[in-house]
Amino acid sequence: MRADAVRGHLDGLLLAVLEPAPLHGYAIIAAVQRRSGGALDLRTGTIYPALNRLERLGLLSSSWEAVGERRRRCYALTDAGRAALAQERTAWQEFTAVIGSVLNPSPPPRPAS
Amino acid sequence: MRADAVRGHLDGLLLAVLEPAPLHGYAIIAAVQRRSGGALDLRTGTIYPALNRLERLGLLSSSWEAVGERRRRCYALTDAGRAALAQERTAWQEFTAVIGSVLNPSPPPRPAS
DNA sequence: TCCCCATATGTTGGCTGCCAATAGATAGCA
DNA sequence: TGCTATCTATTGGCAGCCAACATATGGGGA
């Protein structure tokens, strides 16, 4: 699948993979890849600006973590982030229902004539 | 729902509403609106360029229809269009499965320890 | 010792694709 | 005489994702 298809749903994906535990950017890419069965391969140019935006919005909080000499920026869901995730899930269900109903309409019941 | 969300799925929607019978542009907007329960309100600036593109691709064929003094441009699915619709439906299922699996992962079965 | 790859964070430019706004025409109704 | 509905169509703009690039550490193999 062309990864461009996540357009408009990226925020939900990021919030979702951060739900079980905080992760740093590189691990987020791996987590999305794993949970999608390898179908989604997000790029750094996609997620880093998104993570910054989500932090600015107060949905994530970040903290630097030292691993040897290396540094990691670890992102965690805030309370607002958990609420936003719930909203994203609702919106996703509505979205699939709407598009699905146009793409695969259930035939109208035929009145017994 | 913000109508911008159809991004990337518009072609499938247009092909789908043309499946039962040919329609003209204005009626296509109405059909999408009806089949989506009023949630999707596509604009002319969205569908007319898309219809032209689909015709250039050979997925639709158009013919002018006279209604009194009025003229309508009627779009019909071609054979290639029906094939493309089937592909769009498959792609949609894959898409929802992939995004869904990231957004709402099924918890991994815990080994009995 | 040197190089490459994995790990890790980040920026910039560009393109795709939908929308808002605009334009213009006919027809019916108040 | 307008106002609204029906009908087609174009243009400019912008959001959002990606490709490419830039930078740095650390480990493994030749």
State the pLDDT confidence band at B68, using cuts at 50, 70 and 90. Answer: confident
A45 touches strand D (CB under 7 A): yes
Q: List domains and CATH numbers for chain B.
A: 3-91 (1.10.10.10)
Q: Which residue, among A97, A1, A56, has the nearest Cα to B102 in the 3D structure?
A: A1
Contacts of A5 in chain B (CB under 8 A): 8, 95
Gap from A27 CA to C23 C1', in Å?
Answer: 52
- As to burial, measured by CB atoms within 10 angstroms (0-12 exposed, 13-18 middle, 19+ buried), residue A63 is exposed
For the sheet with A70-77, list strands across it. Answer: A23-24, A70-77, A60-67
- CB of A1 within 8 Å of any CB in chain B? yes
- The candidate with the shortest Cα–Cα distance to B12, out of B98, B94, B89, B99, is B89
Q: What is the pLDDT of residues A54-109, one digit of tens each?
A: 999 999 999 999 888 788 999 999 999 999 999 999 999 999 999 999 999 877 66
Q: What is the pLDDT of residue A108?
A: 65
The percentage of chain A sitting over the pLDDT mark of 90, rounded to a whole number, equals 82
Q: How far apart are CA B54 and CA B23, in angstroms?
A: 14
Is the CB of residue B96 less than 8 Å away from at least one CB of chain A? yes
Within 10 angstroms of residue B7's Cβ, the number of other Cβ atoms is 11
- Span A5-34, mean pLDDT? 95
Mean confidence (pLDDT) of chain A: 92
Total-model pTM: 0.90
A99 with B13: Cβ contact below 8 A = yes
